[in-house]
Structure 1
Amino acid sequence: MIGIQEIEDAAGRIAEHVVRTPTVPSPGLSALLGVPVTAKLELLQRTGSFKARGAAAKLLSLTEAERAAGVVAVSGGNHGIALAVMASALQVKATVVMPRSAPARAVEIAESAGALVRLTDDMAGAFALTERLQQEGLTLVHPFDDPVVIAGQGTVGLEFAEDAGELTDVLVSIGGGGLIAGVAAALRAWRPGVRIWGVETEGAEAMSRALAAGGPVPVTLSSIVSTLSAPSVSQLTYEHVAELVTEVLVVPDREAVAGSLELAEHAKVWTEPAAGCLLPAARRVLERVGDGARLGLVVCGGNATTGDMIGWASRFGLR
């Protein structure tokens, strides 16, 4: 289990390389949901998502030999962007492996940052190619199965705990589980009474399936939300969620896209569906916990283009 000391150490190491993103009360969301809502705006982070934190933490931990050999990462989008940009800033050669379903913008940004981008037919193929490149000598920067990366992502929770007012419930999106593992570890240390809720989209249910099975299992991916689409969680992230998280909620893709549109209208922030899924999940949490709730939302990223959102809204009949 990742401890608060590891997260605080990571915060010190990466402070000069990442943004301490705003933690703000949202009058619009508070009016919409009928309870006080505070948002941690990680979409304002470098590279547009929290992923810059874990990437920076890992890159700063490399030996000289590892730096010289270069690094490799597999990504549905945001992790690849973060690694490419942070590796360029720290002068480390990076290779990013993505499925062809990854957002075109993610591929463009990673390439423009100087990374070599390799595309595969699906996410399972991306993980397989990444494993081969690792065997050839590149250092893996795993998106979630790495205690150094999780500690880096945990700095989100550390800042949230330090900067937010009173909270009863915090909602965090889940792909492979690195963000929620780190955030949960930080919040449990600083605010042990807070309930933590994970949120997945249908067709990207690696964590909820793992909880049902008693450990990580492979899942078939069908969600449009590529940034949450992990073919399985890791034992490390599973153990953190099983121990520290109240429950993992699953919402349909349509509701995730609708949530992004609502966040734009009511919170005035442009989010990807990986963050949009928090809003329908928040309504379910409020049905469970009742009056007196004070919600915290970790708004994890905003790397969706206007074209992406128009396409998804049209597909699901949303206005």
Structure 2
Amino acid sequence: MIGIGDVEAAAEVIAGYVVRTPTLPSPGLTGLLGVPVTVKLELLQRTGSFKARGATAKLLSLTDGERAAGVVAVSGGNHGIAFAVMAAALDVKATVVMPRTASARSIEIAQATGASVRLTDDMAGAFALVERLQDEGLTLVHPFDDPLIIAGQGTVGLEFAADAGELTDVLVSIGGGGLISGVATAMRGLRPDVRIWGVETEGAQAVSQALAAGGPVTVDLSSVVTTLSAPSASPLTYEHVSALVHEVLVVPDRDAVQGTLDLADHAKVWAEPAAGCLLPAARQVLERVGEGVRLGLVVCGGNATTRDVMRWADRFGLH
């Protein structure tokens, strides 16, 4: 497992390349949920999500030989965007592998950087293709199974711990577990009494199923929230979550999309369902914990178009 020192080292390395995103009290969400709410607005990060942090930390660690041979990443959207943009900024040849279910906007942004974009039928196929490309000599920049990636994502928690007022509970979205592993490392290192809650959507439950099974397992993916759709956790993220996270909550896709609409209406931010899922999960936390809660929400990304969200809202009958 990484430690707080690894996260602090990553913060120094990436400081010139990423944004220290705002940490603010949210009067709108405080009114909606009935308890004090503070948000970490990582959707304002470079490339529209926290993923730029880990990608930059990994890319800056490459040897000259690795840079020359090129790098590859697999992604449902946000990691691919961040990886492609930051690789172009650092003049590293990049290949991005995405499932066809990734949003058209994510694919377009990755292509616009000059990266080679390879599409597969599903996420399992994307990971399989990446393994073949590694055999051809490309260096993998994994979305979560890498200590440097986790440390880079952990800088979100480092900033949140430093900039927020009093917090009792922090909610973090989970795909493969890289963000929550890093945030939990930082938050528990600096604020050991804060409870960390993970949030997944139904049909993208790699970490909760790993916890139930006692280790990583391959899961069936059916969630519309492709940015949280990892086919499995890794031993590394499983170890961090099982040691540092209070509980992993699961919410339906419909509630995650409603959460996106609520964030727009009440917090005045345009997030994606990977962040929208935090609001229904926050209600679960309030039911479990009771009085005295002071919530922190990591609003992880905003790379969903208005068309995407309206299409999902129509699908689930949200008006």
TM-score, length basis structure 1:
1.00
The aligned counterpart of 1:72 is 72
Equivalent-residue separation in structure 1 for 2:134 and 2:19 (angstroms)? 30
Equivalent residue, structure 2, for 1:301: 301
Aligned-pair CA distance for 1:137: 0.3
1:278-305 CA-to-partner distances (Å, cap 9, x unmatched) read 0000000001111110000000000000
Please give the residue correspondences for 1:124-143 in structure 2 after superposition, counting only pairs within 5 Å: 124-143=124-143
Residue in 1 that maps onto 2:223: 223
Question: Whole-Å Cα distance in 2 between the matches of residues 231 and 3 of structure 1?
Answer: 26
1:99 maps onto 2:99 in alignment: yes
Give the aligned residue type for 1:178. G
Aligned equivalents of 1:43 and 1:108: distance in 2?
Answer: 19
Query: Is it true that 1:153 corresponds to 2:131 in the alignment?
Result: no
Instruction: Name the aligned partner's letter for residue 65 of structure 2.
Output: A
Matched, 1:85 2:85: yes
Aligned residue number for residue 290 of structure 2: 290
1:180 maps to 180
Q: Deviations over 1:168-212 (max 9, x none)?
A: 000000000000000000001000000000000000000000000
Q: 1:201-246: CA deviations, max 9, x gaps?
A: 0000000000000000000000000000000000000000000000
* Partner of residue 204, structure 1: 204
> Deviation string for 1:109-129 (max 9, x for gaps)?
000011100000000000000
Secondary structure of the structure 2 residue equivalent to 1:96: strand
What 5-or-longer segments of structure 1 have no aligned partner?
none
1:13-70 Cα shifts (integer Å, max 9, x gaps)? 0000000000000000001000000000000000000000000000000001001111
Matching of residues 251-266 of structure 1 within 5 Å: 251-266=251-266
What SS class does the counterpart of residue 132 from structure 1 fall into? helix
- Taking the aligned partners of 2:199 and 2:208, their CA distance within structure 1 comes to 9
1:267 is matched by which residue type in structure 2?
A: A
Give the match for residue 6 of structure 1. Answer: 6
Partner of 2:318: 318
What are the equivalent positions in structure 2 for 1:32-71 lying under 5 Å apart? 32-71=32-71
How big is the shift at 1:276?
Answer: 0.2
Q: Deviations over 1:255-298 (max 9, x none)?
A: 00000000000000000000000000000000111111000000
What is the alpha-carbon distance in structure 1 between the residues aligned to residue 180 and residue 83 of structure 2? 19
Does the residue aligned with 2:250 lie in a helix, a strand or coil?
strand
CA distance in 2: counterparts of 1:150 and 1:115, whole angstroms: 23
Report matched runs for 1:156-167 at 5 Å: 156-167=156-167
Distance in 2, matches of 1:264 and 1:167, equals: 23
Within the alignment, does 1:250 sit opposite 2:250 as a pair? yes
Partner of 1:31: 31
In structure 1, the residue matched to 2:281 is 281
Q: Which amino acid aligns with 2:110?
A: A
Aligned residues: 319
**SS at 1:256's partner residue?**
helix
State the secondary structure of the residue aligned to 1:302.
coil
Runs of 4+ in 1 over 3 A off after TM superposition: none
Distance of 1:67 and 1:9 partners within structure 2: 22
The root-mean-square deviation of aligned C-alpha atoms, in Å, is 0.3
In 2, Cα distance between equivalents of 1:263 and 1:190: 28
SS in structure 1 at match of 2:65:
helix
Percent identity, aligned pairs only, is: 80
CA positional deviation for 1:149: 0.3
* Counterpart residue identity of residue 186, structure 2: A
CA distance in 2, matches of 1:64, 1:25: 44
Unaligned runs of 5+ in 2: none
CA distance in 2, matches of 1:30, 1:59: 38
